[in-house]
Amino acid sequence: MRRLSGTLLLLLTLSLPLQAQGWTTVRRNADKIVRALYFIENRYVDSLDMDKMVDSMLDDLMNQLDPHSTYIARGDVESVNEPLDGSFEGVGIEYAMIADTLTVQSVIVGGPAEAAGLLAGDKIVAVDGQPIAGTGLDAQGVRALLRGPKGSTVTVSVVRNGYLRDYVIRRDTIPIESLDAAYKLDSDIVCLKLSRFSQTSDEEILKALRILTGRTRPRGIIIDLRGNGGGFMHIAETIADMFLEKGQVIVRVRGNDVDRDDEATGRGFYKKGPLVVLVDENSASASEVLSGALQDWDRAVVVGRRTFGKGLVQQQYELPDGSEMRLTVARYQTPSGRMVQSPYEQGKRASYFRQARERYERGESFCRDSIRMPDSLRFETLKLGRPVYGIGGIVPDVFVPYDTTGYNRFFLEAVGGGLLTAYTYDYLDKHRGALQADDIEGFLKKYDKLEAEAFSGLLAYCAEKGVEPGEGELEACEAVLKTRLKALLARGPLGMNGYWQVINRERDPEFHRAVEIIESWTGDFPSGL
């Protein structure tokens, strides 16, 4: 008899404690699976990759559950968990494959790549002498080349301004920032753009506020959760705790073996004062925990469009071979008792995730009246008794329609086709000194002198690639295209902080509405909402 594979031995080992605990159903099914896999491996006519088969089997099993329970194969665990872990060991760059060449999008401040002298717009053509340009290298291949243990070195060959030069980078621990932007307006309104809820998000917010305000109380705070798909729920609770009074419920969690209400500690630093949260259809999970809590306690004005509607709580379990399972173990409710989760049928993930598209098609992104809000799902906020609805997602207090102005064929081909991004890096490479700045005001002063040249250069570049505007198209999209170009160029010297400051200033109706609300705020909560 052939020896059992490592996979089957792991399954057998896993089944032993289950038998000891007397879990009859689990034991019976575990025995069935082990026997079936044993016969397949030892009796099947062709050779098989049993580990791959078991991964596929577990993935199929998760697909029969709710839409958010998932299986993560061992080889994918690191890349899946990394954005939430808060750090990794590597060189400290953000990059993109532009025209089959690895191009540096930004250099992490204080990281080893910055210390070695790399700059945004640099084109990396070889790593440790191995050519990578034009080889079809994918993201996983790039990570394998650039990542490595702290203290180890890697040599990258960089083309800048047409010249080739080697840079030796000593790898280090690289923080992964979840706070994409943190800045203060002239009116002393603090703006925080959070892309996800990672292990360090709360610390990042506190650090940013200390730098921006010191001991001075801001006039107001805007928390931008648009596009934030969630992350760690306990971090969302910690951030909510910064703004709520002691004893106020942040979230209610209900499951087979959990029934609890998590409350604020009262140690928050900004429990009074103007506060606005921006959300959209891509704000989900932990974003909805935070926005729902602040809305229910009449602590913040929620501005934007209805959120995605993910009200399920996942627990991560590590399996014996290093793979992981994220299993839904509970549902959560906002403090008023609203259910956030959108309807779903087990095993029908495609139709569930199609709901966002269906909302768009029936006009929900453009008209609040398109949101179906039956009286049976009507709740009231806990201090002022304002109506809120538990219809799947968080319905904002102030609805702002999706702005599609200028999104015509030429714009979509220039932006979606990657031409704008490619041109931006070429322009940065040639005008690096002329655009270098320490803050957004310095950048804008320099860019104002170059804007006409930069934009005409973009149009010429698009024409070279066979993309030209049709009749009336340039006039319709010129403003939004210019803003996008300016923002991408600001990202060179100032990172994502610069990018979002340009976008927020020039073409962001939700952001402008948030500023208006704060500037007209009176008392504990603005009236007339």
Q: How many residues does the chain have?
A: 529
- For 197, the token pair is 């809820």
Given the residues 296, 397, 429, 508, the one annotated as active site:
296
Q: In sequence order, what DSSP letters do the residues of 429-472 get, joined into one string? A: HHSHHHH--SSHHHHHHHHHTTHHHHHHHHHHHHHHTT----TT
Q: Which residues contact 423 (CB under 8 A, 6 or more apart)?
A: 457, 458, 461, 462
Amino acid at 445: K
Annotation says 187 is catalytic: no
Given the residues 123, 184, 310, 486, the one annotated as active site:
310
Task: Please give, one letter per residue, the 3-state secondary structure of 356-369.
Answer: HHHHHHCCCCCCHH
Given the residues 106, 157, 178, 285, the one annotated as active site:
285
Annotation says 296 is catalytic: yes
| Separation of alpha carbons 147 and 173, rounded Å | 10
Task: Please give, one letter per residue, the 3-state secondary structure of 45-92.
Answer: CCCCCHHHHHHHHHHHHHHCCCCCCEEECHHHHHHHHHHHHCEEEECC
Name the burial class of residue 110, with classes exposed (0-12), middle (13-18) and buried (19+) by CB atoms within 10 angstroms of its CB: exposed
Helices then strands, each counted (H, E), the chain: 18, 21
Annotation says 369 is catalytic: no
Three-state DSSP class for 223?
Answer: strand
CA 442 to chain centre: 29
Amino acid at 524: D
**What positions carry a catalytic annotation?**
285, 296, 310
